A and B are shown apart, each in its own frame.
Chain A
Amino acid sequence: MTAEPADETVRLTALGLRRRLGVWFAALILCLYFGFTLTIAFYPQFLSIGAPFSVGFGLIILIMAAVVILNAVYMNFADENRAPISAHPHETGE
């Protein structure tokens, strides 16, 4: 099940695109989360969930929504660029 040379460029291009997007999204989601954590740690006065619509409430919902949306976008993108990463090593006998 080793990929043919002609397929290899397609595979690597697709893999590279998926990987770069994955790393960017991971960085984005980590920035959001640790930004929130650092705000809790250093500027707690800016956060509260006292009313249904407050800064803390909004940030929490924003992070949760970002998680779901970024995951959905990535999944969609990965499906459109779905050339397999490679054959299973245990299937190639390596």
Chain B
Amino acid sequence: MSAPARTIGPAILLVLFSATAQAAPAPAKHEANGVGIAFFILIVLVSLGITYWSARRTRTADDFYRADGKITGFQNGLAIAGDFMSAATLLGITGLVYMTGFDAIIYILAPMIGMSLVVFLVAEPFRELGRFTITDVASFRLQERPIKIYSAIASLFIVILYLVAQMVGAGALIQLIFGLPYMAAVFIIGSLMMIYVVFGGMMATTWVQIIKAVILLFALTFMAFAVLARFHFDLGGMYAQVAQTHALGFGVFKPGGLLKDPVSAISLSMALVFGFVGLPHVLMRLYTVPNAHEARRSIVYSAVFFGYVSILIFFIIGLGAVVLLGDKPLYRDASGALIGGSNMVAIHLAQEVGGEAFLGFISAVAFATILAVVAGLTIAGASAISHDLYAGALHRGKSSEKAEVRVSKISAIGIGLVAMGLAVLFEKQNIAFMASLVFAISASASFPLLILTVYWRRLTTRGAVIGGSIGLFTSVGLIIAGPAVWVNIMGASQPLFPYAYPGIVSIPVGFAAMILISLLDRSADVAASQAKFDRYLSS
């Protein structure tokens, strides 16, 4: 097995967004098998059934945006974990562990730390003071209109970029797994996600995610068990064989396979951890449970589920694949490279340990993970438009619930069509920069706003909007000036900003700008903001 550097970049991207197959070495199509197609059809039928059931229960804005708060902490924990146990986890992290070994741990630990920050710092105030979207708390404490506009734009940036990256990766993956044409794959995924959101709202979106998470938990448990069984449950023996087989030798168990310099390691870690806290589609799920207690429980459950899956993938599945796939011709193309690149490691391993039936099952699970995640993103984006922009900024909270839900459904269709169009447009493009952008924007523009809203009395509207915008543009600017865009897309020989991950600069800039501008603000807004902080958030 070799570990060419050119395949590492795409693997990183898939870890975050499962959006890399187009950038990987020319993917060879996988032969679709009968079991896979049967599960594929079953998943579509079950999810449509859930949508029908949810549609009959979705009447009010509360139903549409937050499933009327009827999801339990355990169920919500599964749904939040499902957001992170995506194709990125199943395919991307498995491939990353297979290729680079130890360094993949950064991607595994970061979401768990981010989940903890949500529990410790923001879950309760958000659940208690907010209503439907993550902008509710800030817009309640500060001036509603500018904050709603700013936060909705930041959320839409995150959602659209995340969605397009997911769709591009999903199209390529479905093409790879089922042999479907790229356009058809994008059309199927886009259509289904619009149907879930428009007809079933948050109820359908959440239950599709829950069911997918349960299936994935069982599938990965079985896969890990089957891998260990091949080594007679001797983990030490398995690791010894991994060191003998892997091109990095014992180096696969040490840092340095992926992150070559300290600044990149720290910057990436910052973006992943703090970016998680600002992700609108994750925080929105805090409103689907009945109270703050259940909100906290749901995040703790999600950390446990995600941690369990991560341990299986990191310690057993990814490394076991090194030996089990080895140099077997079945999984290699004519040039000796792994068919489909490192993103297909989990799929090949399924075939190796479970035969054609398990291969078909895992392929269908990968499809389900993509569907569930894009549906969650779509409802978050639609809510930003309808609840924040339409109802909050345009009608100042005076619009009817019926009109708001109608706008949300129209927005979901609009977002779906835009995402499908962009996914087609970007099919052949290198979209690596989108991966960094999502977490960089979330960490640099949303995270400072959320934390300062809840913990800093002196924050003002002006500081939040102008400072947040500076954080947002700094992160976008540094990504463009960095190697992902300036060198890989624009073709320059040297980047203007040397690092691929801007978090180490853009996150402090976002915080500093908000603090500085708030301190310089002498408007009447200062007293009003502080009064609301004292009334609702001060201890």
Say what secondary structure dominates the interface of chain A.
helix
Complex Cα–Cα for A6 and B207 (A): 42
Cβ-based interface call for B145 (8 A): no
Complex Cα–Cα for A26 and B9 (A): 31
- Say whether B307 contacts A67, CB under 8 Å: yes
- Which of these, B236, B273, B311, B535, contacts A64 with CB under 8 Å? B311
CB of B214 to closest CB in A, whole Å: 20
Q: Contacts of B262 on A, CB cut-off 8 Å?
A: 38, 41-42
Closest B residue, CB atoms, query A21: B120
Known: A40-B255, A64-B307, A89-B140. A30 touches B113 (CB 8 A): yes
Cβ-based interface call for B125 (8 A): yes
Cβ-based interface call for B297 (8 A): yes
Cβ-based interface call for A16 (8 A): yes
- Which of these, B102, B239, B303, B455, contacts A71 with CB under 8 Å? B303
- Chain A 34-64 per-residue mask, 1 if CB under 8 angstroms from chain B, else 0: 1011101110110111111010110010011
Known interface pairs A26-B117, A51-B236; 12 further A-B residue pairs with C-beta atoms within 8 A, sorted by A's residue number: A26-B121, A34-B269, A37-B269, A48-B254, A50-B239, A52-B235, A57-B315, A60-B105, A67-B115, A68-B300, A82-B293, A84-B128
CB of B128 to closest CB in A, whole Å: 4
Q: Contacts of A44 on B, CB cut-off 8 Å?
A: 254-256
CB of A72 to closest CB in B, whole Å: 7
Task: Give the number of chain B interface residues (Cβ < 8 Å).
Answer: 56
Q: Contacts of A57 on B, CB cut-off 8 Å?
A: 315
Subset of 22 A-B contacts with CB under 8 Å? A20-B539, A22-B119, A23-B121, A25-B116, A26-B116, A37-B265, A40-B265, A41-B263, A48-B250, A48-B254, A49-B253, A50-B239, A50-B243, A64-B109, A64-B112, A67-B112, A67-B116, A68-B300, A74-B296, A75-B119, A90-B131, A94-B140
Closest B residue, CB atoms, query A91: B131
CB of B303 to closest CB in A, whole Å: 6
- Which of these, B102, B239, B299, contacts A52 with CB under 8 Å? B239
Closest B residue, CB atoms, query A37: B269
- Say whether B538 contacts A12, CB under 8 Å: yes
- Say whether B128 contacts A19, CB under 8 Å: no
Q: Contacts of B32 on A, CB cut-off 8 Å?
A: none
CB of A86 to closest CB in B, whole Å: 5
CB of B3 to closest CB in A, whole Å: 17
Q: Contacts of B304 on A, CB cut-off 8 Å?
A: 68
- Say whether A85 contacts B269, CB under 8 Å: no
- Which of these, A16, A42, A71, contacts B116 with CB under 8 Å? A71
- Chain A 1-25 per-residue mask, 1 if CB under 8 angstroms from chain B, else 0: 0000000000011011011111101
- Which of these, A20, A41, A67, A85, contacts B265 with CB under 8 Å? A41
Q: Which has the most chain A C-beta neighbours within 10 Å: B109, B239, B314?
A: B109
Q: Contacts of A21 on B, CB cut-off 8 Å?
A: 120
Q: Contacts of B226 on A, CB cut-off 8 Å?
A: none
- Which of these, A12, A26, A33, contacts B269 with CB under 8 Å? A33
- Say whether A68 contacts B303, CB under 8 Å: yes
Q: Contacts of A90 on B, CB cut-off 8 Å?
A: 131
- Say whether B259 contacts A25, CB under 8 Å: no
CB of B443 to closest CB in A, whole Å: 13
CB of A29 to closest CB in B, whole Å: 5
Q: Which has the most chain A C-beta neighbours within 10 Å: B110, B113, B266, B292?
A: B113
Complex Cα–Cα for A45 and B269 (A): 19
- Which of these, B106, B113, B299, B303, contacts A40 with CB under 8 Å? B106
Cβ-based interface call for B103 (8 A): yes
- Say whether B140 contacts A40, CB under 8 Å: no
Known: A33-B109, A44-B256, A67-B113. A88 touches B128 (CB 8 A): yes
Cβ-based interface call for B129 (8 A): yes
Known: A23-B120, A49-B253, A68-B307. A40 touches B103 (CB 8 A): yes
Q: Contacts of B236 on A, CB cut-off 8 Å?
A: 51-52
Q: Which has the most chain A C-beta neighbours within 10 Å: B109, B255, B259?
A: B255
- Which of these, A26, A72, A88, contacts B131 with CB under 8 Å? A88
Known: A48-B253, A64-B112, A86-B535. A22 touches B292 (CB 8 A): no
CB of A34 to closest CB in B, whole Å: 7
- Which of these, A37, A50, A60, contacts B250 with CB under 8 Å? A50
Q: Which has the most chain A C-beta neighbours within 10 Å: B116, B235, B239, B254?
A: B116
Q: Contacts of A45 on B, CB cut-off 8 Å?
A: 254
